[in-house]
Chain A
Amino acid sequence: MQQRKQAPEGPHFSVGSLLAVALGGFLGAAARILLAVLIPENPAFPATTLAVNVTGTAALGFFSVYFAVHPRLRDWCRAGIGTGFLGAFTTFSTLVIFLLGAPVALALLYVGLSLGLCGLAAWLAVRLTEAHYSAKGRGPMILEGTDAREPWQGPSQSSGEES
């Protein structure tokens, strides 16, 4: 089966992908801004931004596996969901701006929580999605950097690498 490698090379340019990124970015930004209005941010601790980043990262973890086991999915679809919607939904700049204005202890707590929870969310989402497809007997080993031509080892094999 011909397998499309998900980026180390990153997305490839096409006008269709660019338009999908625009649409996804529009919706992702609108969702982020609406959430910020519905759950007003506490200036002393931006929990809404944290929640948005954690859920968006988990969703991208899921989609990175999903995209890899569905190699025939169109490029513009991947770009629209991943780069567009989830990329625009989550934000790095708001986090950094808060860090710059916060007292050191709070800044350390916030950056630790952000990186820890986002990292955990990504890891859990990837592992659970892999386990799901593994149980169905499908799928190459996916994430960028892995050689897609090697036979899939299954998630249990890969667990040793990351501990």
Chain B
Amino acid sequence: MSFLSLTALVVLALAGAAGAMLRYLIDVSFTAAQVRQAPRRKHYFPWGIFSANTLACFLMAGILGVAAHTGVQLQLDRLLNAQGAGDPLSFSVSLVLLALSIGFCGSLSTMSTLMVSVLALSRSGARTMALAYLGVSLAAGLAAGSLGYYIPTLF
């Protein structure tokens, strides 16, 4: 791995760290608001993780839409394996777009927390909420993704 591709990996991972931090902040503040509004409830719908996942789908589709719209190539292996990476401008552009999509949005969204929450809710008797959470997460992700793809085509 060349120095350049190592730098690129660090940039992508830093964007990932930012995505995870934003997800944590959303989760903490949403949950705190839910508990404040209705204390002592037995189950809380995980609106925080739901929002982080939906937002991530929207943003990622938007970024991929922008890349497709402007003809930027987003190939991770080319970015991280390239020795000289050719044109520095297109290298930087695809680095930024990949950092925002795979790095930031990839970390902003989460599958593990979603599935473990679904399991935990259904095990503790809130099976309807568990199924609703799963279904609503998927539906909202697909809708947000479609919207995200659509918006760049308007310009």
Question: A-side interface residues toward B, CB under 8 Å?
Answer: 7-13, 17-18, 21-30, 32-34, 36-37, 40, 53, 56-57, 59-61, 64, 79, 82-84, 86-97, 99-100, 111, 114-115, 118-119, 121-123, 126, 143-146, 158, 161-162
**Which chain B residues in 56-115 approach chain A with CB under 8 Å?**
56-57, 59-61, 64, 76-77, 80-81, 102-103, 105-115
Which 3 A/B pairs are nearest by Cβ-Cβ distance? A29-B16, A25-B20, A145-B124
Closest to A94 in B: B106
Q: Out of B20, B44, B124, B146, name the residue touching A29 (CB < 8 Å).
A: B20
Residue pair B16, A93 in contact (C-beta under 8 Å): no
Closest to B28 in A: A13
Residue pair B19, A88 in contact (C-beta under 8 Å): yes
Residue pair B112, A115 in contact (C-beta under 8 Å): no
Inside 8 A of B46's CB, which chain A residues have their CB?
10
Residue pair A88, B20 in contact (C-beta under 8 Å): yes
Residue pair A88, B110 in contact (C-beta under 8 Å): yes
Residue pair A29, B48 in contact (C-beta under 8 Å): no
Q: How far is the CA of A25 from the CA of B114 in the complex (A)?
A: 16
Chain B residues with a Cβ closer than 8 Å to the other chain, count = 71
CB distance from B79 to the nearest CB of A (A): 9
Residue pair A92, B28 in contact (C-beta under 8 Å): no
A87-B107, A94-B102, A97-B64 known; A145 and B125 CB under 8 Å?
yes
Residue pair B116, A92 in contact (C-beta under 8 Å): no
Residue pair A99, B142 in contact (C-beta under 8 Å): yes
Residue pair B108, A93 in contact (C-beta under 8 Å): yes
Q: How far is the CA of A143 from the CA of B125 in the complex (A)?
A: 11
Question: B-side interface residues toward A, CB under 8 Å?
Answer: 9-10, 12-21, 23-25, 27-32, 35, 41-44, 46, 48, 53, 56-57, 59-61, 64, 76-77, 80-81, 102-103, 105-126, 134, 137-138, 141-142, 145-146, 149
CB distance from B77 to the nearest CB of A (A): 6
Q: Out of A87, A100, A115, A158, name the residue touching B20 (CB < 8 Å).
A: A87
A11-B24, A87-B107 known; A96 and B57 CB under 8 Å?
yes
Q: Out of A37, A93, A115, name the residue touching B60 (CB < 8 Å).
A: A93
A29-B12, A33-B16, A126-B119 known; A87 and B126 CB under 8 Å?
no
A9-B35, A92-B137, A118-B115 known; A161 and B20 CB under 8 Å?
no
